[in-house]
Amino acid sequence: MLNFELYNPTNLIFGKGQIEKIATLIPAEAKILIAYGGGSIFKNGIYDQVKAALPDRNIVEFGGIEPNPHYETLMKAVTVIKEQNIDFILAVGGGSVIDGVKFISAAVHFEGNPMDILQKRLLIKDLSKVVPFGTVLTIPATGSEMNSGSVVTIEATQEKLAFGGSALFPKFSICDPTVIVSLPKRQLQNGVVDAYTHVLEQYLTYPHEGFLQDRISESILQTLIEIGPKVVEDPTNYALASNFMWSCTMALNGLIQKGVPSDWATHMIGHELTALYGIDHARTLAIIGPNLYKVMFETKKGKLAQYGKRIFNLTGTEDEIAQEAINKTVAFFHTMGMQTQLSEYTKEFDTTADFIANRFEERGWKGLGEKQNITPEKVREIVTASY
């Protein structure tokens, strides 16, 4: 097993009716910015619950953080924070609002051009230079509620870029599984597939000595396969909703990544498809993931075979099991309402592979993946296979 440090200071508060605890979690004298998205929180009662939990507090609101949050929008919130002397941010939303708040938190006291945080992928480690924030999660998917990563889109350059750092863990996150009842089916499906792919990014690498990490990963995958198709049909079922929400958090709170190699190339390529075509994050992963496993088959087949045996009970030679495991993954994504080829979303994809490969080349991303062998040339092959 590789050496590791596990640091996760987020106070996770999980369960029904927990939103009312917010008042005890935010310093009494804090001037609070409540940040939210396009307004779903007004329709499903989450806004009312948050406001009821914070009587007599000094609150300013900032709405309109879009899915795949835009740098341009977030900078408006930075201005509000400076003008109004805000000292705590409460993100009420999904991965987009939480990621947006992480960027805002880092940008307020940043000396220099905040765009550098994204384009130079700066590590934000100094707690004295960020604005503290907490979250009320409204959609299980990204794990952003318990990790220190964020993904922000620069509208002007059509770039979707990841950054993060140890200073960007939420102080607390309230995860009430009942919030999922108002989610459209498409978003429930997205959440299952995003979390599933987060596990695969950290699990489908090469055989290693992180036996426990593998077993934890496999149990998250099995849980998602078991509950995913059901929870999208019945989000009011609390057993399903709570296991769905906890699986998503566990898939990307850092635990299963400790001491083992990880990949993340599916995400890096997928982010480009969102930036170029506006395809939902999870849906880009369903397009790219299986094709990446095919193109990188020789690198990944040992782990693909383990996955095939343990998750799908497959038998045969290592190659046969590994191949069939990819087919089973595609079938699961179809069950979850995903389309798995780019041509199902856009007819203008002829130059996409070249565009993405060239962009990675320009950014110096010459070797992605657990073995740094996903070169721009391989990226071109993966995207072409995804047409």
d(CA 37, CA 34): 10
The encoded tokens of residue 272 equal 């480009």
Let me know: does 194 contact 285? Beta carbons within 8 Å.
yes
Q: Does 99 bind Zn ion (CB under 5 A)?
A: no
Angle at 166 between CA 70 and CA 179, to 5 degrees: 55
When asked if residue 67 is in the footprint of ligand NZQ (CB under 6 A), the reply is yes
Among residues 33 and 383, whose Cβ is nearest to Zn ion? 383
Q: Which tokens is 315 given?
A: 């038998």
Q: Does 252 bind ligand NZQ (CB under 6 A)?
A: yes
Among 99, 145, 159, 194, binds Zn ion (CB under 5 A): 194
Q: Are 107 and 134 in contact (CB under 8 A)?
A: no
- The residue among 66, 61, 3, 55 whose CA lies nearest residue 35 is 61
Tell whether residue 68 is a contact of ligand NZQ (CB under 6 A): yes
- Which option in Zn ion, ligand NZQ, none does residue 306 bind, with CB closer than 5 to 8 A by kind? none
Among 107, 139, 168, 357, binds ligand NZQ (CB under 6 A): 139
Position 267 contacts ligand NZQ (CB under 6 A)? yes
Does 135 sit near ligand NZQ (CB under 6 A)?
no
Told to check if 290 binds ligand NZQ by CB under 6 A, we report no
Q: Per rule CB under 6 A, is residue 165 in the interface with ligand NZQ?
A: no
372 dihedral zone (left: phi>0; alpha: psi -120 to 50; beta): left
Q: How far is the CB of 36 from ligand NZQ (least distance, A)?
A: 6
144 binds ligand NZQ (CB under 6 A): yes
* Residue 137 binds which of Zn ion, ligand NZQ, none (CB < 5-8 A, kind-dependent): none
User: What distance, in Å, lies between the first and last C-alpha atoms of the chain?
Assistant: 38
Q: DSSP secondary-structure letter at 54?
A: S
Taking CB under 5 A as the binding criterion, the range among 65-73, 162-170, 187-195, 209-217 that sits at the site for Zn ion is 187-195
Site string for ligand NZQ, 74-93 (x = CB under 6 A): -------------------x
Nearer to ligand NZQ, 46 or 131 (CB): 46
Tell me how far apart the alpha carbons of residues 158 and 143 are, in angstroms, rounded to a whole number.
Answer: 24
Residue among 186, 184, 181 at smallest CA distance from 235:
181
* Parallel, antiparallel or unpaired: strands 159-164 and 149-154: antiparallel
- Measured CA to CA, the distance from residue 108 to residue 244 in angstroms comes to 34
CB of 343 to ligand NZQ, least distance (A): 22
The residue ranges that bind ligand NZQ (CB under 6 A) are 37-41, 44, 67-68, 93-97, 99, 138-139, 141-144, 147, 149-151, 179, 182-183, 187, 190, 194, 252, 267, 281
